[in-house]
Chain A
Amino acid sequence: MTYKPSNRREFLAGASGAALAAAAAGAAESQPPVRVAVVGTGARGSDLIRNLSTIESAEIVAVCDDYEPHLLHGHKFAGAQAKAFDNYSKMLKEMKPQAVVVATPLYLHHPMCLEAIDAGCHVFCEKTMCYSIDEARELADVVKKRGAVFQVGLQRRANAIYKQAQAMVQAGYLGRITAINCQWHRNNNWRRPVPVKRGEPKWSALEHRLNWRLYWDYSQGLMTELASHQMDIVNWLLGTPPKCVIGAGGIDYWRDGREVFDNIWCTYEYEVAPPKSNAVAGRTLDEENRYTVRVAYSSIQSNAYQGASELIMGDRGTLFFTQQKGLFYRELGVEDPGWSKDGRLDRDATIVTSGKTLKMSNDPWAHRGKPLEIDITGDDTREELLAFLDCVQREDPATISDAQNGLANTATVLIGNEATHSRQVTPFPTL
């Protein structure tokens, strides 16, 4: 244990202090707001517009969608100063925005991002970055060559819970991470309402437009729409993309004409070199001692018992996340990590009580002790947009989730689909 937070409060302050300092630095320069255009004004696009409209460093100059009900909805949130377009190329040409936010269906990310970069714009692209690994590779390449500021909308990187969790993993709170379970379980048909009846002439076109997530031509299903967020966290915490994956899935419940799997189960293997800070007395953990961490990922749509959550299991502790709450539990049975017995008044927040006490407890969860709770401090979508705009103003390409990360994330989730289709062990490609 090399990192010794003297107490919980200081540790928390340390984690959020950096973010505050960054925000203050951005504001101090008092630059004019970034002229932003948003393409894709459905549910997610409108939420991005709403968040942008509350940020002083952004000015929404235009919104674009070729589906009129969505365009009207998005425009309402953008405000009267924004111009509405149904043609993306025309919007880029006419408005010359500094930055473009791409929130269209997955298959359009690649062409739209390229067109924006070609027009000299910085880009915020919703996850998943691209429909295919080849597209992602090309886009990452172009971003690098053009020096564009590019951020993929993997907003857990801007979420206070995950930021602190990452710091805790780095500091060795979990010891050696040995296994991870991630799931996004819901119990609904994942359908958006279509304004005409099934079977009517216009139904098919509207169904594909509105329920694009359900069809392979536009979407890569649960892996790109849901798993991408969680697998990004896994790659972040383990500090590396996976080595390979096996997968299984199918359409077993919602047989309503959809094409993408309604349940998918992937097991990833990561080869991890333990960070030096995790070195434990009597054990050498260096490059030669790389070990495998297996990550089980599942997404189903017929039971919502544990919702969207991630369970990070280390030999010293466990992190359990939902987007609203993070919980840290210490494991019993490992050696005393020192920091838990420094006589601090608030140590009950981080220390499991002694073995004797535990034996007397009738609490079925007592072996995990009282968890350390990690709370959110703000809306992570707003936070990720603030971070992006700050990078745009400073022309700093080092965004919290740049195109290289977007490429790794795209490849991570898409090999899950590939393995599920082929029923073969599928290696992570060379990027």
Chain B
Amino acid sequence: MASLFEVWLTGEDEEHLTAVGEAALDEISRIERLFSFFDPASEVSRINREAADRPVKVDVEMFGVLSDCLRRRGETGGYFDITIQSDGNIEDVVLDATARTVHFMSANVEVNLGGYGKGYALDAAGGVIREQAVASALLHGGTSSILAVGAQDDGTPWKIGLRDPYDESQSVGSVDLVDAGFSTSGVFHASQAESDIMNPQQRQRLTEQAACAVIAPTALDAEVWSTAFLAMGESQARGALLQRNASPLRVAWLSQDDGRTRITWLNEEIGQ
């Protein structure tokens, strides 16, 4: 993850809010320590180091996360894939629920929770905040993933401005969030020839400039789906959304038309 996380809390008791804010940030650090791809002390590093040699026993939380990642891979038609940055294949990641182990069937495979961790950490921190009876909060990770807890203290929704991905000095609108997650993914910026995001079907980096924003019930849903939709491309994303009848996701596509940036809410287009 290695992103900047920030937390806004509203309420009256500053001492309590400060303690809650620290607890929320502690929760994010805890998850970052477990999920980091680069920190040799993380659980993900331990798994990547050892799981090709033998089944690696993992904790309840990590097993849940890996299971969820495999489930979401199916749900997104393969467009969310935690092994995509490695030379291996996700079929080589074998989970055993009884022994609570993960085993790699190939030495080439590695898992990377980079496209998952920010959303997961925001939701977990949001849980800490709600547990401590703070009703109004906004959290973000690297400004690309956001979680709104409740609304603002005056009852109005949290308002999030969207930066124009084609002209970073401009805003192209805003979204309102109440108890919702939000995430943007993009193939950018202008000087960048290809994205960090890969198309798992073609195993290639995305090259066509586009951006996708998703509002979802949780920050994790938003993060996973914004990445998956972007990898699919606009028309396939529209199709996937159609298939998911009455989906709680709201999906915006940002593209350029005659030099002007256009936001298309795919849900509206398909009458959802």
Contacts and interface: CB of A to CB of B under 8 A. Distances in A.
Contacts of A192: 19, 23
A194 B60 contact: no
Which of A50, A197, A198 has the most chain B CB atoms closer than 10 A to its own CB?
Answer: A50
Nearest to A383: B41
Contacts of B18: 188-189, 191
B57 A195 contact: no
A378 B39 contact: no
A50 B15 contact: no
B96 interface: no
B58 A191 contact: no
Determine the interface band of chain A, counting residues with CB < 8 A from chain B.
20 to 34
A239 interface: no
Interface string B2-33: 00000000000101101110110010001001
Contact of A376 (B41, B56, B132): B41
Given A191-B22, A195-B133, A54 B58 contact: yes
A256 interface: yes
A194 B40 contact: no
Interface in A363-385: 375-380, 382
B110 interface: no
A416 B100 CA distance: 45
Main secondary structure of the interface of B (DSSP, over half): helix
Contact of A76 (B13, B56, B60): B60
Interface in B106-140: 131-133
B60 A189 contact: no
A375 B23 contact: no
B43 interface: yes
Interface string B38-77: 0111110010000000001111111000000000000000
B57 A56 contact: yes
Contact of B16 (A56, A188, A197): A197
Given A53-B60, A54-B59, A56-B57, A193 B40 contact: no
Nearest to A43: B26
B41 A54 contact: no
Contact of B43 (A54, A56, A79): A54
Nearest to B54: A56
B25 to A, nearest CB: 9
Nearest to A76: B60
Contacts of A77: 59-61
Contact of A79 (B15, B19, B46, B60): B60
A55 interface: yes
A379 B19 contact: no
Contacts of B59: 50-51, 53-54, 77
A77 B61 CA distance: 7
Nearest to A191: B19
Interface string B150-182: 000000000000000000000000000000000
A102 to B, nearest CB: 21
B36 to A, nearest CB: 11
Given A77-B60, A193-B132, A376 B40 contact: yes
Contacts of B42: 379
Contacts of B61: 50, 77
A424 interface: no
Contacts of B19: 189, 191-194
Contacts of A197: 13, 16
Given A53-B60, A76-B60, A256-B15, 7 more contacts: A54-B62, A188-B22, A192-B23, A193-B132, A197-B16, A198-B15, A379-B41
25 contacts: A50-B59, A50-B60, A53-B57, A53-B59, A54-B59, A55-B57, A56-B57, A79-B60, A189-B15, A189-B19, A191-B19, A191-B22, A193-B19, A193-B20, A193-B132, A195-B132, A197-B16, A198-B16, A324-B39, A376-B39, A377-B40, A378-B41, A378-B46, A379-B43, A382-B46
Interface of A: 43, 47, 50-51, 53-56, 76-77, 79, 188-189, 191-195, 197-198, 256, 324, 375-380, 382
